Structure 1
């Protein structure tokens, strides 16, 4: 199994209630039910307020590197990424467990 973690930081001046952000969150929350390769899916807002904290997180899992590739290339995932590109930056980590 591969754990796929993503941490998002909203761009300067962008707030959670920005309509673009609301749409992006809605798109990512729906992915768990749209992409068969996902074995585990959760995402939500960070609840702490620290200077080094990121704003939003995705914690997911897939079977193997082929499944990860299919997930990353899936049209629903690509559509969500395109939305988030407009208002945030992110870091990822993928590891086997």
Structure 2
């Protein structure tokens, strides 16, 4: 599996209603897309310093699943409805899953 992370920084005019609408549409989209195994999204908790206002984490089966998710019409519709207007900056990365836990031998 692959974990796809997308971090968004909002433009100055994004409202709480925008974020709530985006979040609802993203969850509705994720529920309908077969390649998605696990999905989470929402405002950055802000525990550590970051320029990201919002985070999407999507676990997909493989690279083909990631491509299918990113190019799916439902994903494109969410981008057009919300993200094009709301996004000042975006960063994305992918990691293999499951994660490897490394513990030092103390």
Structure 1 gaps, min length 5: none
Structure-2 residue corresponding to 1:86: 85
Q: Determine which of 23, 31, 38 is the counterpart of 2:36.
A: 38
- Kept in 2, the 8 Å contact 1:42–1:59? The answer is yes
Which consecutive unaligned segments of at least 5 residues does structure 2 have? 98-106
Residue 50 of structure 1: how far off its partner (Å): 6.4
Q: Which runs of 4+ in 1 moved over 6 A?
A: none
* Count of residues in correspondence between the two structures: 95
CA apart distance, 1:21: 3.8
Residues 49 and 62 from structure 1, CA distance in 2 versus in 1: closer, same or farther, beyond 3 angstroms?
Answer: closer
Residues in 2 aligned to 1:21 and 1:86: alpha-carbon distance in whole angstroms: 12
* TM-score relative to the length of structure 1: 0.83
| Distance in 1 (alpha carbons) for counterparts of 2:59 and 2:34 | 11
Q: CA RMSD in A?
A: 1.9
Larger Rg: 2
Aligned to 2:10: 10
Question: In 2, distance between residues paired with 1:38 and 1:70?
Answer: 10
Quote how far apart the aligned CAs of 1:45 are.
Answer: 1.2
Contact 1:8 1:55 in 2 (8 A): yes
